[in-house]
Structure formats: C-alpha cells, structure tokens
Amino acid sequence: MSQPPYETYGHAPGDARFAAHDPQGQGPAYGEFDAYDAYRAAYGGHEAAYEHREGYPPEGPYPPEAYAGTAADSPEADVPEADVPEADSPGGDGAPLLPRQSAPPEGARQAGRAGARRAARRRKAADRPDGLRRLVPQALVVAFLAGGTSAFVANDKAVHLSVDGKSRTLHTFADDVGELLADEGVDVGAHDIVAPTTGTALASGDEIAVRYGRPVKLTLDGKRRQVWTTARTVDGALRQLGVRAEGAYLSASRSKRIAREGLDLDVRTERTVTIMADGRARTIRTNAATVREAVEESGVTLRGSDTTSVPPGSFPREGQTITVMRISGRKEVREVPIPFDVRRTEDASLLRGTEVVVQPGHTGTRRVTYTVRTVNGVRQKPKRVRTEVVREPQTRIVKVGTKAPPTAVPGADGLNWGALAACESGGRPHAVDPSGTYGGLYQFDTQTWQSLGGSGRPQDAPAAEQTFRAKKLYVQRGASPWPHCGPRLGG
C-alpha cells in the first residue's frame, strides 16, 4: 500500500513533528507532544493507526471500539485485511498519524493494519463482559490522548501571509503577528508596512500583509527630495505619492520595477506657460525642464544676445509669463579730460605774497568704451566696459615767496601814494584796465613790473609790493609814468 501525501505545517514541542489528516474535511489535527508520549508509553512505544468513526468528531473522545492496540499486543493479528478498511488508504474513513517530514517505518504500517483487524474483531465481541473489561483501561488512555490532541488543534492556526506581493498559506502556533513574522524570518523596518500591526493577536483564517518600503530620490518639477514608498513599480509609487503623471515627463517607464534599494526618479508635470515675444503672446502646455526649452517649444528662437525676463536655465512654473527680450548692441568710445594737480612750494628768495609758476599744468585724456544696448527697441543706459589713459596730466608747480617785502625807498617815502592809487585804480590791488594791458593799484604793464623786480603780473602781487615797486619807478622816472594822476603824489 502506498503512503498518502502529507504536509509540513508547524512544529510541536521538541523534535516531535507530526500531523493527522482529517477524513471529515475539518483540516489537519495535531497531538501535543506530552499526549503523544503517553500514547507511546501505553502501547509499548509503537505507532498504531486509529480511525475516525462515523458521527464522531476528529478530536474524540471515541468509543472503545474505535481504538486499536499494536500488533505486539494481539494474538489475533491474523484477521483478514479485507474485513477492515485500510487506515492509510485514500478510500478509508480514517487517516494515519504521520510524522511531518518522514514516512512511518514499515513496522509501524504493519502494526497499524494489525490494530485495525483487531479492532474489527473486538467490535464483534463488544457485548461480552470480559471484552468490555479489557477495553476500558485502553479507552481511558486514549481519551487522555484525545484531550491533548484537542488542545493541540486549538493552538494551531491556518493563516494567509503575503510578503511584498508573494503569498502563501501556512500553519502556525504564533500568538500574534509579530511572533509569526519572527518565526518566518521576516524583518520589518521603520518604512515597512505590516497589516494588521505586529501586536495584533492571530486567529485561524487571518490574512497578514507585509509591504517593504523603498527609497526614491524624487526630483519633482525641479525640486529634489527623498521619499519612501511601498509600491513595487514606478506607476504605483506615483499614485501612492499623489503625483499627477498624465502628460508628465518620467525618467523611467511606469512599468519599471523598484528594487529594495530604491531608484532615482525625475518627474516633470505638464504646466501652462505664456511666452511674450515680438509683440505676440503664445500660451502652451509643456513639461520642459528649462525656460529656454519652453520658449523653443512655443516656436520662438533666441538669437545672438537675446534673453528672457527670467533666467533661461530656470524651471518654468505653472501659469508663468515669460517675456523674450530682443537685444541689439553697439560700442561707444568717449574721451574724458583728466584735470591736472597743482603743487606749491615755498621760496625764501621771493617776497611774501609772490607766486611764480615754475611748470604749467596740462590736462590729461582718458578714453572710455561703453556698450549701448537696445532692448525691444528701447535704448538702455550705457554700460562702461573699458577705460584707458591716452595722455597723462601734467602737474602745475608754483613757487610761493616767503621773504618780507621792503617798505622804504629813499626819495619817495613822503609822497601821497594812496591818492595816486585811488586815481589810477580806485584803490583796488587786482584792478585791470579794459585792454588787459595794465593792472594793479598803479596800473603797471607787465614789462615795467618785471623790470622793477616783480614776478608774474602786477595785479597778482600784494598791495605793499605794488607800492614798493611804484616808489622804485618814481625814483627812476618821477611822476611821468602817471601823466594824468601823477600830480596827486604832491597833494
């Protein structure tokens, strides 16, 4: 006879792993390890088959005739096999008690068949008092075994576990979801989802789902951030993150699977922008990455120095208006004078108040280059781009006298010089006649002034020096230099 298939469901205490198939379709039944040991002790350490009788629950208790001893116990092991349905046969109404991972040995199968035959013969003699007395002790032991089996079955749970989309049905003795996941070696982290939660108590028929979190480095409309998703595809991640993907640019296909280590994803949603160019507005829908791309999509070409009202490399935003600026430019060169400096030095050989120009000053020249832009036909403020000095300025050097001027001139000190000055210049030291030839209090011409030891122009000299030079001229020539006002010297 062939051994029926068996399944691996869970682990009983220690190394005793076994399962019983329920012929009534109630699911697998288990015996606890201590009850199983008691069963082995009561029947000499042999694994005997038992059958579920019609109308009795799989977990017992059963009437005495439902149980069979071992082949070693019975001298009546020669009952024909046809009298009793085979316990390990698919057509029988009972199921053998099987180990989880190995088939029962041949001796155990023979003992099972012998026990079944003995049970049949004992049913015939059930009415005899001596037969009843022989079955009572065995019934008590088996009733104890049936009670342990019932408790064993109550602790077993058939649950449905889905880990990241991979589903399976299993049997477990775990008390809650967290214990089940630990038994199955399923590690969960802070970004993973477990439903129901790990602290939820388990019951037979429960469904547990584990979804692993995946990191996604998402660049959405130019803004980069890292997010976590339990979706396994790009399309699922977009829906989970609430990203509108219709008309959007995606750096990866929607069907691309997301590995546990995650991926980089660039998403540019479709936006409405308006391009103002050449006096005309163009409104388009675009998922362009830059303003320049959006302008080109609108059919506008940027040429030469043309630019936009926002940086061309910036990200175009929803509802944004972008103005194209047509730029033309030219260069302008201008020469700007550089003023010279004046340096004054003291000279003790010159009378106080006297200045002598030793080196005349000259202005320099600076050449400045500007760019002049015209934006959409409007001239902009010139922008200076280069400066160079064409001619250096020359410093003016002036000597300033510090010597005290003499005041006395013999032969001229007693005259009325104030009256002469009032007549000639109105008493003004810096007076100059309309022709520009004569200047000062006494209206010297420059040649006469310098012949008397003066420097520069007479009207630039102090009043005391002008009087001193006039006295010297009077000693040389009398009052003739002042034909009209000279007589006032005597008054």
DSSP structure class, residue 9: -
Mean pLDDT in the chain? 75
Average the pLDDT over each of 143-147, 345-349, 447-451 and give the range with the smallest value: 143-147
- Beta sheet of 342-351, edge-to-edge order: 342-351, 396-403, 355-359
Close Cβ partners of 458 (under 8 Å, ≥ 6 residues apart): 439, 440, 442, 444, 446, 449, 466, 469
Residue 28 has what pLDDT?
37
Average pLDDT over residues 306-320: 93
Average pLDDT over residues 146-161: 68
Containing H/E element for 466? Answer: helix 463-477
- Beta sheet of 166-172, edge-to-edge order: 166-172, 157-163, 207-211, 193-195
Q: What is the pLDDT of residues 382-400, one digit of tens each?
A: 999 999 999 999 999 999 9
Residue 46 has what pLDDT?
37
Average pLDDT over residues 165-178: 92
Cα–Cα distance for residue pair 407/411, rounded to 1 Å = 13
Q: What is the pLDDT of residues 27-39, one digit of tens each?
A: 333 333 343 343 3
Domains of the chain with CATH codes: 18-155 (no CATH), 157-211 (3.10.20), 214-268 (3.10.20.30), 271-325 (3.10.20), 329-399 (2.20.230.10), 405-489 (1.10.530.10)
Q: pLDDT-based confidence at 120, cuts 50/70/90?
A: low
pLDDT at 19 over 90: no
Cα–Cα distance for residue pair 98/116, rounded to 1 Å = 16
Average pLDDT over residues 115-125: 52
pTM tops 0.85, yes or no: no
Q: What is the pLDDT of residues 205-236, one digit of tens each?
A: 999 999 999 999 999 988 999 999 999 999 99
Q: pLDDT-based confidence at 294, cuts 50/70/90?
A: very high
Which residue did the predictor score with more confidence, 262 or 113? 262
What is the β-pairing status of strands 263-268 and 249-250? Answer: antiparallel
